Structure formats: structure tokens, C-alpha cells
């Protein structure tokens, strides 16, 4: 047995070593567990720095250290903390060795940055230190800073210190990266919200159940209802009842991912009760599972455009009123002639005191003529009045009859034979009386002008699918060559060279059809004739919602 060998002593020493290694392992475990708890997404740069410093101090209690954080975009150092004497000027830059750049897969061009110093050797940033190690804080090829350790002779760095530093630094770099992502996401969210909020367009976002999620400032300014009253409410609370059906169709079409390219024109009421016209374009917004989550409505206030169009139509009405007046004077002539002839005859007869039964017939002719004049003048006066923007329930057949009576002179002048096939008991439509009269007058006038040598003019009305009325105006006139068909609705397009036309007639007609949410189409065969078909939606609501009685009275009045 060798002198001095004491097995008990050696066992004790090994036990002591094992115990201190265990203690060290426990300490490391504790620090790492603590790191996980302390890293929260909301932490600031300073808080992050402090967490790193605390961990470095707990893991390497005797060593010098320098912890630097940098902005990953500009690479400018933003925060630092150190223990032990530093060499002069080392904190202005982030120092990394070339091999660390390679190992962490940083872009080599990083060496060109004025804020980064890449050295061949491991940089030693401490005064009087023999041994240094360092680890850059890198995640997803982005540099967030670096940790440097320096060991003196009294407190040398252990072999596995570098490994320990690397695993800690990796964890911290990932946390910094997540923090950065979160900040970017929050920034983008704020950015997007302010774009929506301050955009010069009307913006509403709703979920699939029509609940309003976004209601921007332009909407608030236009309608006058503040955000706190509208957010979270059903969109239909703010849409007039008569617009809701179309709105619902467009919303479900958008959720089914086929919105109409033309957009949705609708009316809404302001807080003051005024009506505004808005055209909304709808688009579906999807979540991460590619499911439609919400619908964005981007709108434009077209109230002024509609008001101007209304004025143009009114102006055109006044112009055609002037043209009609000439015809009407002619129309008045015939009944007035019979009135005066019969009246003069009766007066002379009454003077002699002799009357016979045929005089009743003559008096009836006088009455009939007078009534006709009354009706024409009354219709003309009502047509000439400024029309209201508010639509009213109307019977299309009455409008056809009235429009034809206005055009009697034109019809007679062109030797045109009129056939009318009006389907009885048609539902009412919600419309503007004078505008629809204007539509009929313009179409009838065009038809007559196309039949210079006489012909047949046919007008018919009936209902058809999709709750619409169909008004057909056809003639046996010149017809329209195919190449001209697409131009006839353009303003000022006319083939009438003798000053007979301004080319506004059909453009006004198509505007009026659009106002009534209808459709117009035309078919024509040169040499045979032309057919215009106009579809207009009729009123489908419950009878008690529309003033049916009032509408009936009006119809009776017009006939009288
Ligand atoms: N029924 C029709 N038959 C043949 N051509 C037609 C018919 N209706 C319209 N057109 C053609 O379309 C053109 C445009 O018609 P529109 O009513 O817009 O203008 P216009 O009749 O020429 O002038 P305005 O109506 O302003 O007096 C006409 O000039 C004509 O060539
Ligand atoms: Mg015309």
C-alpha cells in the first residue's frame, strides 16, 4: 500500500466534486428556467438587457462581461451593460469574429456596416484579460447584439463556458426575434387601422353576421353617427328597409366569393334624416384557414353626381316640353274647332227658340272636346312641374297611356298606327313619374322619326320573372345598323342631321332606367324595325307598406 493514500479521503473528494457539479448543474437549470419565465413578449429593450445581464451574472459569477443589443435593421447598438474594465472605444460597435459570422450564417456583407467590426480572431474587449469568448445574438440571419466574456488569471473561463453561453444566447436571440415580430405585427395592425380610419373613402368592415367591426371616419362624417354607436351593431340598422334585400344578396354573394364588379348602389339616411347615395364595392377578407371571415365595403358618396344627373334629366324634360307644346297646340285645335262650330250653331238655334233631339248629341260633342282639352293641359302642366326625387308607387300602364297622348301629334304627323297591348292588373312600381313619362316620350318619338313613311308602333307591358315589369316599344322603321347599336346610348350620338335631334334622347332613357334599377336592351334589323325592352322592378312589399289607396286615386284621377 502506497504511503499517503487515503481511500476515505479520495472518496470524500470525489463526493465533494460530484456535489459541486450537481450544484452547478442545478444553478444552470435554475437560470434557464428563470429565463423562460422572464421572457415575455411585451418586454422593452432595457428589460431584455437586464434579463440577459442577470443570467450572465448568475452563470458566470466571476467573469468580466459586455452585453450589447443592436437594432437588427440599422445594426446601430441600442443598449449595453458591462462588468470589468473595457478597452477604449469598444462600445461604439458590435464586435464579432469572422468564424462567428460563418457559424451563425450571417450575411458576410455585414462586415461593411459602420456599426460592426468583424475581426479574424476572437475579439478581446477587456483590459488585462488573457482569455475571451463571445457569441453574437443571431436568429433567422438577423443580428440582435452580442455577449462577450473575459476571464482573468484568477477567474479563468472553463472549457464548457462557451457552450453554455451559446445555448443561452440562442434562447435570448429567439426571444428578441419574436419580440421584434410582435412589434412589427402591432405596427402593421396600427398602420392598417389608420389607413382604414383616415382613408378618403367610406369604409365598413363586417363579420359574416353583418356585425360592424370597422366604421371609419369618412362614414362617421357622412352619416353623422359616431363610431361608438355603430361598432358591434347589425349593418342593417343603418340601411333603409327597401335596400336590405339587395344588400343581403350582395353580401352573401361576396361571402360566396363572387361579388358583382359593378358594385352596389344604395341609399342611406344621415342622422339629420337626409338621403345620401353611396356606391359600395364589396370584397371578402379571409382568415389563415382561407375561410371568408369578414367583408370589407368600400364606398363612394355619389349624392352630388345623382343630383346633377337629376338636373340634366329635368332640363331635358323642359326641352322636350317645348317641343311637345307645339304638338299639343295642334292637338287642341281639332276639339276647339268642333266646340266652336257646334256652340255657334246651338247659340243661333237657341235664339230662334227651336230645338230638336240631335242638339243633345251636339252638346255632348262640345263636352267631349272640352274634356279632352282639359286632360291634355292638366297632364302637360303636371309633366312640367319640377319632379320630386322621392319615388312614388306608379302604374306603368297609366304612364304609357299618358305618354302616348303627349305624342299624338308626332304619331299623326308620321302617319303611324299604334297598337297597345297592356297587361291588366300589373303590380305597381316605385318610380319617378316625370322621368318614366320622359322615357316613354323619348322612345315613342324615336320610333315615329324612324318611320317617316308610316308604319306600326307597338307598346306592350307585362310581368316577368325576378319581380320585374317588361315594357316593350317596337317599331317597323328603318332599324339600326349593328355597328351603331352600341353607340346609340351615348350622349350626343345622333344620325339626325337636319337639326331634328341632339342625340340626348336615349342617353337620358338609359340614365332613367338605371335610376329605377332596371335594364334596357335593344334589338334591331335594318329595314325591318327596332325593339326596345325595358325591365323595371315592381313593388313586392306587403300591401300595407305601400299607399295602395293613394295610388288608386291617382290612377282614377288621370283617367278622368
Ligand atoms: N327606334 C329607332 N329606330 C331607328 N333608329 C333609332 C331608333 N331610336 C334611336 N335610333 C338611333 O339612335 C340615335 C340616338 O337616338 P337619341 O334618341 O339618343 O337621339 P336623337 O333621337 O338623334 O336626338 P334627340 O332624341 O336628342 O332628339 C338616333 O339618332 C337614331 O340614329
Ligand atoms: Mg331621340
- Collapsed DSSP state (helix, strand, coil) of residue 149: strand
* Confidence tier at 42 by pLDDT (50, 70, 90): low
CATH code assigned at 245: 3.30.450.20
Do 529 and 416 reside in the same domain of the chain? yes
The atom number, within ligand 1, closest to the CA of 502 reads: 26
CA distances from 67 to 76, 122, 145, 174, 386 (A): 14, 15, 8, 16, 81
Cell readout for 411 is 304619331
CA distances from 180 to 15, 72, 147, 190, 191 (A): 47, 9, 19, 15, 16
Do 247 and 146 reside in the same domain of the chain? no
Query: Best mutation site among 494, 511, 534 for ligand 1, i.e. most ligand atoms within 8 A of its Cβ?
Result: 494
CB 438 within 8 A of CB 320: yes
Ligand nearest to the CA of 492: 1
pLDDT in tens, 91-115: 999 999 998 888 888 888 988 999 9
Do 161 and 114 reside in the same domain of the chain? yes
Query: Best mutation site among 446, 480, 522 for ligand 1, i.e. most ligand atoms within 8 A of its Cβ?
Result: 446
Cα 304 to ligand 2 centre (Å)? 26
pLDDT in tens, 214-224: 999 999 999 99
For range 510-523, the mean pLDDT:
92
Query: Best mutation site among 488, 498, 500, 511 for ligand 1, i.e. most ligand atoms within 8 A of its Cβ?
Result: 488
Q: Which of 174-178, 493-497, 547-551 has the lowest mean pLDDT?
A: 547-551
Within-domain flag for 193: no
User: In terms of DSSP bridges, do strands 468-475 and 455-464 run parallel, antiparallel, or are they unpaired?
Assistant: antiparallel
273 conformational bin, left if phi > 0, alpha if psi -120 to 50, beta if neither: left
* Confidence tier at 326 by pLDDT (50, 70, 90): low
CATH code assigned at 522: 3.30.565.10
Q: Decide which of 339 and 416 is more confident.
A: 416
**pLDDT above 90: percentage of residues in the chain:** 41
Ligand nearest to the CA of 457: 1
d(CA 380, CA 372) in angstroms, rounded, equals 12
Q: Whose CA is nearest to atom 28 of ligand 1?
A: 494
Ligand nearest to the CA of 496: 1
Do 283 and 317 reside in the same domain of the chain? no
Cα 304 to ligand 1 centre (Å)? 28
For range 251-260, the mean pLDDT:
87
Do 347 and 394 reside in the same domain of the chain? yes
The residue written with cell numbers 445574438 in the block is: 137
CA distances from 315 to 305, 349, 432, 491 (A): 15, 50, 15, 14
Cα 486 to ligand 2 centre (Å)? 15
d(CA 355, CA 266) in angstroms, rounded, equals 67
Within-domain flag for 266: yes
Give the helix ranges, DSSP H, for 353-481: 358-384, 396-406, 408-413, 433-449
Model pLDDT, residue 546: 38
Residues with CB under 5 A from ligand 2 (ion): 446, 505
d(CA 407, CA 233) in angstroms, rounded, equals 52
User: Residue 438: is its pLDDT beyond 80?
Assistant: yes
Cα 178 to ligand 1 centre (Å)? 69
Last residue of a domain, one of 301, 328, 357: 301
Establish whether residue 530 lines the binding site of ligand 1, counting it when its CB lies within 6 angstroms of any ligand atom: yes
Domains: count for the chain: 3
pLDDT in tens, 377-412: 776 776 776 777 778 999 999 999 999 988 888 898
- Collapsed DSSP state (helix, strand, coil) of residue 81: strand
Establish whether residue 474 lines the binding site of ligand 1, counting it when its CB lies within 6 angstroms of any ligand atom: no
CATH code assigned at 139: 3.30.450.40
Do 241 and 375 reside in the same domain of the chain? no
Q: Which domain holds residue 327?
A: 306-559
Amino acid at each position: 500500500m502506497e504511503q499517503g493514500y487515503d481511500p476515505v479521503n479520495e472518496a470524500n473528494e470525489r463526493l465533494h466534486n460530484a456535489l459541486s457539479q450537481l450544484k452547478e448543474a442545478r444553478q444552470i437549470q435554475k437560470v434557464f428556467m428563470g429565463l423562460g419565465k422572464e421572457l415575455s413578449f411585451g418586454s422593452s429593450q432595457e428589460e431584455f438587457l437586464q434579463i440577459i445581464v442577470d443570467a450572465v451574472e448568475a452563470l458566470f459569477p466571476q467573469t468580466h462581461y459586455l452585453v450589447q443589443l443592436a437594432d437588427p435593421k440599422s445594426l446601430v447598438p441600442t443598449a449595453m451593460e458591462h462588468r470589468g474594465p473595457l478597452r477604449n472605444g469598444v462600445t461604439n460597435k458590435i464586435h464579432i469574429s469572422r468564424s462567428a459570422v460563418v457559424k451563425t450564417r450571417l450575411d458576410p456583407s455585414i462586415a461593411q456596416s459602420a456599426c460592426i467590426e468583424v475581426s479574424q480572431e476572437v475579439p478581446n474587449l477587456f483590459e488585462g484579460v488573457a482569455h475571451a469568448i463571445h457569441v453574437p445574438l443571431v436568429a433567422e440571419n438577423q443580428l440582435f447584439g452580442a455577449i462577450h466574456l473575459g476571464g482573468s488569471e484568477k477567474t479563468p473561463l472553463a472549457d464548457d463556458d462557451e457552450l453554455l453561453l451559446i445555448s443561452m444566447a440562442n434562447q435570448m436571440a429567439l426571444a428578441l426575434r419574436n419580440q421584434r415580430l410582435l412589434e412589427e405585427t402591432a405596427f402593421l395592425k396600427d398602420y392598417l387601422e389608420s389607413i382604414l380610419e383616415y382613408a378618403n373613402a367610406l369604409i365598413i368592415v363586417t363579420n359574416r353576421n353583418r356585425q360592424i367591426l370597422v366604421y371609419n371616419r369618412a362614414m362617421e362624417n357622412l352619416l353623422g353617427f359616431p363610431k361608438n354607436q355603430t361598432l358591434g351593431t347589425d349593418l342593417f340598422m343603418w340601411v333603409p328597409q327597401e335596400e336590405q334585400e339587395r344588400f343581403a344578396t350582395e353580401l352573401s354573394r361576396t361571402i360566396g366569393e363572387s361579388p358583382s364588379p359593378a358594385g352596389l348602389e344604395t341609399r342611406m339616411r344621415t342622422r339629420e334624416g337626409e338621403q345620401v347615395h353611396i356606391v359600395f364595392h364589396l370584397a371578402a377578407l379571409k382568415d389563415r384557414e382561407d375561410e371568408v371571415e369578414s367583408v370589407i365595403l368600400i364606398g363612394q358618396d355619389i349624392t352630388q353626381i345623382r343630383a346633377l344627373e337629376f338636373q340634366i334629366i329635368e332640363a331635358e324634360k323642359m326641352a322636350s316640353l317645348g317641343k311637345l307644346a307645339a304638338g299639343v297646340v295642334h292637338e287642341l285645335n281639332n276639339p276647339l274647332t268642333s266646340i266652336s262650330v257646334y256652340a255657334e250653331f246651338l247659340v243661333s238655334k237657341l235664339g230662334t227658340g227651336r230645338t230638336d233631339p240631335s242638339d243633345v248629341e251636339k252638346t255632348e260633342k262640345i263636352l267631349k272636346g272640352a274634356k279632352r282639352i282639359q286632360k291634355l293641359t292638366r297632364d302637360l302642366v303636371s309633366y312640367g312641374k319640377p319632379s320630386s326625387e322621392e319615388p312614388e308607387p306608379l302604374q306603368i300602364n297609366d304612364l304609357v297611356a299618358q305618354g302616348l297622348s303627349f305624342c299624338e301629334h308626332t304619331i299623326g304627323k308620321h302617319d303611324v298606327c299604334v297598337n297597345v297591348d297592356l297587361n291588366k292588373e300589373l303590380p305597381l312600381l316605385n318610380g319617378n313619374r316625370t322621368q318614366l313619362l320622359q322615357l316613354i316620350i323619348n322612345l315613342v318619338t324615336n320610333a315615329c322619326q324612324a318611320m317617316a313613311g308610316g308604319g306600326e308602333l307597338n307598346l306592350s307591358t307585362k310581368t316577368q320573372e325576378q319581380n320585374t315589369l317588361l315594357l316593350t316599344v317596337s317599331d317597323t322603321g328603318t332599324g339600326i345598323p349593328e355597328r351603331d347599336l352600341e353607340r346609340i346610348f351615348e350622349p350626343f350620338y345622333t344620325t339626325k342631321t337636319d337639326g331634328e335631334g341632339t342625340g340626348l334622347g336615349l342617353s337620358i332613357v338609359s340614365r332613367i332606367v338605371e335610376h329605377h334599377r332596371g335594364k334596357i336592351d335593344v334589338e334591331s334589323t335594318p329595314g325591318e324595325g327596332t325593339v326596345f325592352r325595358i325591365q323595371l322592378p315592381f313593388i313586392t312589399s306587403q300591401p300595407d307598406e305601400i299607399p295602395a289607396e293613394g295610388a288608386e286615386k291617382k290612377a282614377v284621377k288621370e283617367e278622368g
